[in-house]
Amino acid sequence: MPPNVGQGYILRRLIRRAVRHGMKLGLSGEFLTKPADVVVELYKDAYPILQEKKDVIMNGLTQEEGKFLKTLSKGEHEFEKVLPEITQNGNTVISGDVAFRLYDTYGFPLEITEELARENGLQVDRDGFDKAFKKHQEQSKMDSSAVFKGGLADNTEETTKLHTATHLLHKALRIVLGEHVEQKGSNITQDRLSFDFSHPEKMTPEEISRVEKIVNEQIQKDIPVSYTTMTLGEAREAGAMALFGEKYGDEARVLSLGGFSTELCGGIHVQRTGDIGVFKIISEGGVASGIRRIEAVTGENALQHIGETEQQLSRAAELLRASRGDLADKVQQVLDRARALEKELEAIKARLASQAGSSLSDQAVEINGVKVLAARLDGADPKSLRDTVDQLKNKLGEAVIVLATVQDDKVSLVAGVTKGHVGSIKAGELVNQVAQQVGGRGGGRPDMAMAGGTRPEGLDQALASVTEWVQARL
């Protein structure tokens, strides 16, 4: 797998873009190993390592592709859900809050959101995205007023257990995610630990599960916790890691958890890892660019959390009329059915819009050899409008088209201009002048643009103005 930082992260972005553009070309499933195999064959003489590491390369590529296909499916589905709301309100910019929600909740990379936005004649508010990051970070900030050295709020038994668990967690994260992981802050109370660390993307459920498993394995081994005092230089030579927020003098205490972890730490700890009992991660999320946060519980709090989760699973199984063992499959069936119905509904809308669009072509008027059409397509959604504009452009040949629909008293507009006339007529300018007459605004590419409005009562007059506007520019 390519690493998550530096050149490795750039490689991941290239892989992801290749996956998405392959899907746009009609390729389905995992397909990148086929062109990769060709590349290896072409360059194996110049770069023998390609042949030597071929299996590793193909396995890593398959894993990254499969992982991103899931992320892409969820993210694009959510993007399509928010798109009509954005355009109906007359906006041409996707807010930073929306882009951040796609990133934080669904792991959807910002660059893919920007690419989808461009394809739909929109932009992403990058400054707003950064502000959303900062706002999220501020909302999640720890109360540092009661934090002791090492991030401990007190020295009770429960806090001590959580402190030792934090060291186990740090090491487990480095094992699972990579050596780039570094502690960036921590807060430990009697109820839970909060641990900030460097990592560029949302952890997967599988990664979280692996980290939990590693920590609990070390707890079950009941490893004795030992300390050694040495100079800071000696500690670093011994491989001891220094933690964020800790201050060290000429001499420092080195915490050793068997052969599992060695770190500099001046705080208090349990005598053996088995004293921790049980470790459970309860949340993982972003707090700043490249910084993630894990919250976890131990002992009785962990057992209570697990018990509550068990009750929720039992309730979900009851509602879905499934056994606990079949719950995941049952949920997947329900989701698949819901998505199938959504696609079926979209297909029906598209067919109806296409049929209506075919009849609309007769309404086009010719101006200097260009077919001009401005019409309402009631019952269509914004996506159907875009598809119908594309169909009409193909059918009419040289054409300028504006289609509109009204849903919930909000106007959606799509303008399309065939390639031969984008020099004199810009779809973005056209749709914007129509949108302004219905209380909105819009813009986009020269050949395709969208807009929205809030005054449907002015729509018919706005559409009637299109012919004159076009004629003045031809």
Residues near 117 by beta carbon (within 8 Å), at least 6 away in sequence: 94, 123, 124
Q: Say how far apart CA 85 and CA 306 lie, in whole Å.
A: 38
Please count the other Cβ atoms lying within 10 Å of the Cβ belonging to residue 469.
17
More confident residue, 203 or 65: 203
- The region of weakest confidence among 98-102, 104-108, 166-170, 267-271 is 104-108
Q: What is the pLDDT of residue 133?
A: 81
Nearest to 428 by CA among 451, 401, 395: 451
Tens digit of each residue's pLDDT (9 = 90 or more) over 428-451: 899 989 999 998 877 778 888 888
- The region of weakest confidence among 157-166, 211-220, 403-412 is 403-412
Q: What is the pLDDT of residue 204?
A: 93
Q: What is the average pLDDT across 37-48?
A: 91
Residue 262 reports pLDDT greater than 70: yes
More confident residue, 444 or 260: 260
More confident residue, 249 or 27: 27
pLDDT band at residue 410 under the 50/70/90 scheme: confident
**How far is C-alpha 59 from the geometric centre of its chain's CA atoms?**
23
Q: Which residues of 67-99 are buried (b: 16+ CB within 10 A; e: fewer)?
A: bbbebbeebbebbeeebbebbbebbbebbbebb
Q: What is the pLDDT of residue 7?
A: 61
Percentage, residues of the chain above pLDDT 90: 34
> pTM of the entire structure?
0.50
Q: What is the pLDDT of residue 9?
A: 64
Tens digit of each residue's pLDDT (9 = 90 or more) over 75-120: 888 887 787 777 666 677 888 888 888 887 777 888 888 888 887 7
Q: Is the dihedral of CA 59, 60, 61, 67 positive or negative?
A: positive
User: What is the chain's mean pLDDT, rounded?
Assistant: 84
